[in-house]
Structure 1
Amino acid sequence: MWNIVSVLLAVGLLTIMIAWGKVQPLLAFVVAALVAALLLGVPPKDIPGAIEKGIGDLLGSLVVIICLGAVFGKLIADSGAARRIATCLIAGLGPSRLPVALTITGFVVGIPLYYNVGFVLLVPLIFSLVTQSGRAAVALAIPLLAGLSIAHGFLPPHPSPVALVSAIQADMGATLLYGIVVGIPTLIIAGPVFAMSLRHIRAQPAGVFRASEVPDSELPGVFNSFATALLPVVLLAATTLLTMARPDLNGALAVLSNPLVVMLLSYVVAIFTLGLGRGKRFSEVMQGPAEAMREIAPILLIIAGAGALKQVLVVSGMSADLGARLAGLPVPPLVLGWVVATLIRICLGSATVAGVTAGGIVAPLVQSSGVDPNLMVLAIGAGSLMCSHVNDSGFWMFKEYFGLSLRDTFRSWTLMETLVGVVGLLFVLLLSLFV
């Protein structure tokens, strides 16, 4: 019983430091890990080594993948490929199907782009569509942002799913495939279907957020944009399906199916197709990675901190004990993972922090219960998106960009994120009946 109380005290301290004290997450995680180690009886001489090992083990397998994902997404954004994808889908589906076009845009563009980048890049496009179509801004924005959010919570190479895959020993390719299967129906319900109820909400977007129009002649071609942006997905999905159909090819495809190799190859291809091949100098193309690294650094620190807390739980023996206790509860393991992530998300606000922290707590449950680890990644991802409110930066970005009242922000943004979390879990549970 004392072990459970110790973990709750450590997580409570973590919550207070981040949510109330605004302590930098890495420092908060390290302090929480130290407190947890002392309460759980870890010998003081072993505590520094456990924290360092936890940080090194988790970051060691993820840092290159996440950084490559960041620079790849930055190049997709800076080159205009993301905007080309959006304008192509909107033009192809026509004015009468704008919500559908924006739904697909959010999901497709959200795969290579990190959430904040996709938000800042695509929201000005919504404002221009509002002017052209006369439709309600919030009703147009929700389908697009639901797509971005689902990609952020469910699909590699986004940081939280990638960290979860490592923490609970899932498979990157299988998680991606299952994430797409779960994400599409979830997106339909939380995006265009839910947006139909938001037509009465009137936004007052500030003029500063309206972007200047970029001539189509300055954007990359349609095929180039789609093929390059979706290349990591195609490579991971193709190699995963091949190894499922032909297990004898697993050894031959081991290198090509490795996420690090996939992201590196995709980035090299993007340098040529979206940079050098369009007449840009190599030095010009290389300006993006420096900015991308600055943007991704806080996320890497969060993941590092979560690794420290996870290792303390392992060294103390609490991880195995917690897994056995959770497995003994009369609740499906996938639901337990979702609940843990939801509670942390409500307390801390950050979906990334909620995901990677829940992964460290729930990891032993995956081993003791025998649940599919790929589905657990998705269940935790769904929980990490739940109930976005005033402690989430995404909540305030949406409110300020669209000039909404708090009531309307809760009615639209918070409810959309909650729908994603609840419906996502339901489809994960449904998928678990077949895999």
Structure 2
Amino acid sequence: MVLLLLMTRLKLNGFAALLLVAVGVALVQGIPVVDIPDILSEGIGGQIGDTMLVIGLGAMVGRIMGDSGAAQRIAGTLLDAFGPRWVQVAMVVTSMLIGVTMFYEVAFIIIVPIAFTLVRVTGANLLWVGLPMSISLSTMHSFLPPHPGPTAVAATFHASVGLTLFYGLFIAIPAGALIALLWPRLPFIKAMNPSIPQGLVSEREFTDEEMPGLGWSLFVALFPVILIAGAAVTDMAAGGESPFLHSVAFIGSAPVALLLTLLLAIWAFGPRIGRSLEDVSASCTSAVKAMAMILLVIGAGGAFKNVLVEGGISDYIKDVTDSWSISPIVLAWLIAVILRIALGSATVAVVTASGVVLPLLAGSGTHAEMMVLAVSCGSIAFSHVNDPGFWLFKEYFNLSVIQAIKVRTTYTTVLSVLGLGGVLAVEWALEVLNL
């Protein structure tokens, strides 16, 4: 409440407000004053370390594609294929295909320039086009391996990653598509009409002759997807340890994949089409300037999260829920939800929740894969101000804190509930079929 007051009534900058509240929470939790600066620094460093390379490199690639006309070429092709009326379906299909293997933040940064271009070309509301993209990516990232949360839980429960992905697709695709197409149509969402943040997309409208070809435009856009997905599939299929697998994992890591994509984009949409390296460099510089405040706010969100973790909230919740006697699937989901609300970190929520309910799995007869999906579904709920992803969403869609809560917190919560229903339904079907 204090954070919301600072940012809505007092109009304090999000970075400063988050740091002030983080310090206040640390003092209330009894963390020694001498330790608070280190905890804040660790939180900011950990969060920025995870996201700065991805967001920075992704923003540069996106801006180069925008300034060269490549983003407009892809957006125009999507419009031609689906038509303006079905632009949301185009975003859902594209986001789900890319989001199966890519982190939310990585896929978001790659696709959002196309969404911005579609908004500019069609004149549609930014949330009408962008929200289906974000919802689809959130669903894929939170529900399914090989994303880090579900993969870590699968290892804890000794569940099959392949089966978890197989069962999860039957839940994630219909749930994600339903919410992605429904949410932008809700009256309180339609009442919002945010503008595209300045500096993140080219304002120029290109002629057909000025734009690069569709083949190169798609190849550069999909290049990081190919590298990251290829590494994930290779790891799942081969396993083990070898220099070859280490090399594949290195190339398929998000920062390296995006760095290679940036180099490819600089050449493909620079000297190859007659643009000078100076022009391409100017595109990169403008993208970085636009990202500065977004990165600061995300880093402060990491500081806030770290204060909560160091304060021992996760241990307290674990102690309280140890004695609850309910279905293992519902318990796993509920603990993940509570931890998600308290900590903001989906990864911490799924790891802690899986540790709590692991002893219940052995004698319950519940499929391990369903337990993985239950925990994973719980971890998406109630994304709010202590979730760095919340701030990425807020800043890119140019929303106020209250608006972001109305949009993102609600859709993540409904997705989580639908996910739990889907897990219970699939578990029931497996029991009926005796599988």
The TM-score with structure 1 as length reference comes to 0.65
- More displaced, 323-332 or 76-85? 323-332
1:124 aligns with 2:116: no
Contact 1:40 1:316 in 2 (8 A): yes
Distance 1:170 1:280, change over 3 A: farther
User: Which amino acid is the alignment partner of residue 67 of structure 2?
Assistant: D
1:64 aligns with 2:53: yes
Cα distance, 1:36 vs structure 2: 1.9
User: Which amino acid is the alignment partner of residue 117 of structure 2?
Assistant: L
Distance 1:378 1:276, change over 3 A: farther
Contact 2:344 2:383 in 1 (8 A): no
Q: Cα deviation per residue 1:226-281 (whole Å; 9 max; x = unaligned)?
A: 11112112211111011101003543423123221111111111111222211111
Aligned pair partner of 1:13 in 2, 24, 32: 2
Q: Which residue of 1 aligns with 2:217?
A: 225
Distance 1:50 1:218, change over 3 A: same
Q: Which residue of 2 aligns with 1:293?
A: 288
Contact 2:382 2:409 in 1 (8 A): no
Contact 1:58 1:303 in 2 (8 A): yes
Superposed counterparts of 1:17-36, under 5 Å = 17-36=6-25
Aligned pair partner of 2:317 in 314, 322, 343: 322
Counterpart CA distance in 1 for 2:175 and 2:353 is 26
Counterpart CA distance in 2 for 1:191 and 1:334 is 22
1:278 aligns with 2:273: yes
Q: Cα deviation per residue 1:115-154 (whole Å; 9 max; x = unaligned)?
A: 8755542213223xxxxxxxxx67xx87733432225645
Distance 1:96 1:147, change over 3 A: closer
Counterpart CA distance in 1 for 2:293 and 2:170 is 30
Distance 1:359 1:384, change over 3 A: same
User: Which amino acid is the alignment partner of residue 10 of structure 2?
Assistant: G
Consecutive unaligned residues of structure 1, counting only runs of 5 or more, are: 1-11, 128-136, 345-354, 399-408
User: Which amino acid is the alignment partner of residue 280 of structure 1?
Assistant: R
Q: Cα deviation per residue 1:88-139 (whole Å; 9 max; x = unaligned)?
A: 2332356886664465467679936478755542213223xxxxxxxxx67x
Contact 1:142 1:416 in 2 (8 A): no
Q: Which residue of 1 aligns with 2:361?
A: none
User: Which amino acid is the alignment partner of residue 266 of structure 1?
Assistant: T
Counterpart CA distance in 2 for 1:181 and 1:283 is 48
Superposed counterparts of 1:44-83, under 5 Å = 44-83=33-72
User: Which amino acid is the alignment partner of residue 215 of structure 2?
Assistant: F
User: Which amino acid is the alignment partner of residue 52 of structure 1?
Assistant: S
Q: Which residue of 1 aligns with 2:129?
A: 144
Superposed counterparts of 1:148-163, under 5 Å = 148-150=133-135, 153=138
Contact 2:171 2:422 in 1 (8 A): no
Cα distance, 1:380 vs structure 2: 4.3
Counterpart CA distance in 1 for 2:207 and 2:410 is 37
Aligned pair partner of 2:303 in 284, 305, 308: 308
The TM-score with structure 2 as length reference comes to 0.65
Distance 1:327 1:183, change over 3 A: same
Q: Cα deviation per residue 1:288-342 (whole Å; 9 max; x = unaligned)?
A: 222222222223222222222233334333343334435666544445545776x
Contact 1:84 1:220 in 2 (8 A): yes
Distance 1:38 1:153, change over 3 A: same
Counterpart CA distance in 2 for 1:236 and 1:287 is 28
Contact 1:324 1:365 in 2 (8 A): no
Q: Cα deviation per residue 1:182-208 (whole Å; 9 max; x = unaligned)?
A: 76434532455788999xx999999xx
Counterpart CA distance in 2 for 1:417 and 1:311 is 20
Consecutive unaligned residues of structure 2, counting only runs of 5 or more, are: 100-106, 155-160, 196-202, 359-367, 428-435
Contact 1:340 1:383 in 2 (8 A): no
How many residues end up aligned between the 2 structures?
371
User: Which amino acid is the alignment partner of residue 232 of structure 1?
Assistant: P
Counterpart CA distance in 1 for 2:55 and 2:153 is 17
Counterpart CA distance in 2 for 1:204 and 1:285 is 31
Aligned pair partner of 2:79 in 85, 90, 96: 90
Aligned pair partner of 1:237 in 229, 243, 250: 229
Superposed counterparts of 1:242-257, under 5 Å = 242-248=234-240, 250-257=245-252
Counterpart CA distance in 1 for 2:92 and 2:116 is 16
Contact 1:379 1:428 in 2 (8 A): yes
Counterpart CA distance in 2 for 1:378 and 1:312 is 25
For the aligned residues, what is the CA RMSD? 4.9
Counterpart CA distance in 2 for 1:203 and 1:58 is 29
Contact 1:337 1:379 in 2 (8 A): yes
Contact 2:266 2:280 in 1 (8 A): yes
Counterpart CA distance in 2 for 1:203 and 1:325 is 40
Superposed counterparts of 1:274-423, under 5 Å = 274-325=269-320, 331-335=330-334, 337-338=336-337, 356=344, 364-365=352-353, 367-369=355-357, 380-381=379-380, 383-384=382-383, 418=410, 422-423=414-415
